[in-house]
Copies of this chain bind each other. A is one copy, B any other.
Amino acid sequence: MSAQITMTQAINRAIDEAMAEDEGVILLGEDVAAKQGGGVFKISSGLTEKYGEKRIRATPISEQAIVGACVGAALAGFRPIAEIMLMNFVTVAMDQIVNHAAKLRFMSGGQTNVPLVIRTTTGVGVGFGGQHSDMLEAWFAHVAGLKIVTPSNAADAQGLMRAAIACNDPVIFIENILCYGLKSDDPGPGHIVPLGKAAVTREGSDCSIITYGRTVLDALEIAGKLSEEGISVEVIDLRTIAPYDEATVTASVQKTGRAVVLHEAVKQYGTGAEIASRLNEKLFGKLKAPVTRIGGAFSAVPMANALEQAWIPNKDAIADAVRSAVNWKG
């Protein structure tokens, strides 16, 4: 049996490798240094010991200052990583991300650029309630100048983090709390997964499920179950939302003729809307059933476990959406 690695270890290793190679790679965030235990999710564990407190900087609770300092350091040629402890806290740093990180290359006519990675985590099902569980990737996807990464497994997380740090544009790197413990076969050191390339995680011929992040696991589970019913599901893991791998997605749906777009974020005005619209534009008249979107409920994430479970995209509903597509009669 080959060695295994968790997503936490994978992200840590990718940052470690990048820091060893380039003095300009630094990490700023609340509690990230050794003195604070290496971050609340331990992603930066061991790094201060190796690279020192000038490169692993534990910050005050000041997200605007964290992202802003990373933007500035990036302008000076560094490759900073900003940790925003939970995704909902980007709401206090949107100006730095959207008006500055995303736009400075353009507004300067290409004289400057912002090679910055903003790492953050989130996820529904942890019991963190309304202000600590949102998935806000659709906001960032609406902003020109940002790249968006959402790994679903440890190996990809490692490889995508390396690519994100190497990228000369700002990257929003979204981790899912519930995925930190997931294990992959160890991809070994130096592993890189290029941005903008989706993975066909399972091949199938009847319907494509297009998803990313934690719900890739749901999709694979459902694909397995449906195969017992004779329905062959193809699972596409986007890996990066932006750049969007239109070629891979369109080819898959062209082949299967049916698509379900799935994400944990609220369905309405989510990334699924863009993907569904594009599929409809590209494949008008060629689809065998309407593209279905499945996402979180249209409410804040409730705290009570019973409600939180009802809020999350439901596996039965996903399976039903695939069945409806396959059985579509119009």
B-chain residues with CB within 8 Å of residue A64 when the two chains form the complex: 92
Separation of A297 and B103 alpha carbons in the complex (Å): 14
Separation of A293 and B90 alpha carbons in the complex (Å): 29
Total A residues in contact with B, Cβ cutoff 8 Å: 54
Once A107-B130, A129-B107, A300-B103 are accepted as A-B contacts, the answer to whether A281 and B277 lie under 8 Å apart by CB is no
Pick from B94, B142, B266, B298: contact of A268, CB under 8 Å = B142
A285 at interface by CB-CB < 8 Å: yes
A299 at interface by CB-CB < 8 Å: yes
Closest partner residue, chain B, to A241 (CB atom) = B269
- Asked whether B300 lies within 8 Å of A145 as measured between CB atoms, the reply is yes
A144 at interface by CB-CB < 8 Å: yes
B-chain residues with CB within 8 Å of residue A285 when the two chains form the complex: 330
Minimum CB–CB distance for A279 against chain B, Å: 9
Separation of A92 and B95 alpha carbons in the complex (Å): 6
Once A103-B131, A289-B284 are accepted as A-B contacts, the answer to whether A300 and B144 lie under 8 Å apart by CB is yes
Pick from B98, B273, B290, B298: contact of A284, CB under 8 Å = B290
A141 at interface by CB-CB < 8 Å: yes
A51 at interface by CB-CB < 8 Å: no
Separation of A292 and B98 alpha carbons in the complex (Å): 27
Q: Mark A205-245, 1 if CB is under 8 A from B, else 0.
A: 00000000000000000000000000000000000000000
Once A131-B103, A138-B142 are accepted as A-B contacts, the answer to whether A269 and B272 lie under 8 Å apart by CB is no
Once A277-B291, A293-B277 are accepted as A-B contacts, the answer to whether A107 and B268 lie under 8 Å apart by CB is no
A29 at interface by CB-CB < 8 Å: no
Q: Mark A50-67, 1 if CB is under 8 A from B, else 0.
A: 000000000000001000
B-chain residues with CB within 8 Å of residue A273 when the two chains form the complex: 269, 273-274, 276-277
A270 at interface by CB-CB < 8 Å: yes
B-chain residues with CB within 8 Å of residue A287 when the two chains form the complex: 284
Separation of A134 and B94 alpha carbons in the complex (Å): 13
Minimum CB–CB distance for A86 against chain B, Å: 11
Once A95-B92, A138-B142 are accepted as A-B contacts, the answer to whether A291 and B281 lie under 8 Å apart by CB is yes
B-chain residues with CB within 8 Å of residue A290 when the two chains form the complex: 280-281, 284
Q: Mark A61-76, 1 if CB is under 8 A from B, else 0.
A: 0001000000000000
B-chain residues with CB within 8 Å of residue A327 when the two chains form the complex: none
A139 at interface by CB-CB < 8 Å: yes
B-chain residues with CB within 8 Å of residue A136 when the two chains form the complex: 142
Separation of A298 and B242 alpha carbons in the complex (Å): 12
Separation of A130 and B134 alpha carbons in the complex (Å): 27
Separation of A281 and B292 alpha carbons in the complex (Å): 7
A41 at interface by CB-CB < 8 Å: no
6 more CB-based (< 8 A) A-B contacts, given A107-B129, A107-B300, A144-B266: A91-B98, A92-B92, A92-B95, A144-B299, A273-B277, A284-B289
Cross-chain pairs A/B with CB under 8 angstroms, 9 sampled: A64-B92, A103-B131, A106-B130, A138-B138, A142-B265, A276-B277, A276-B281, A277-B277, A281-B292
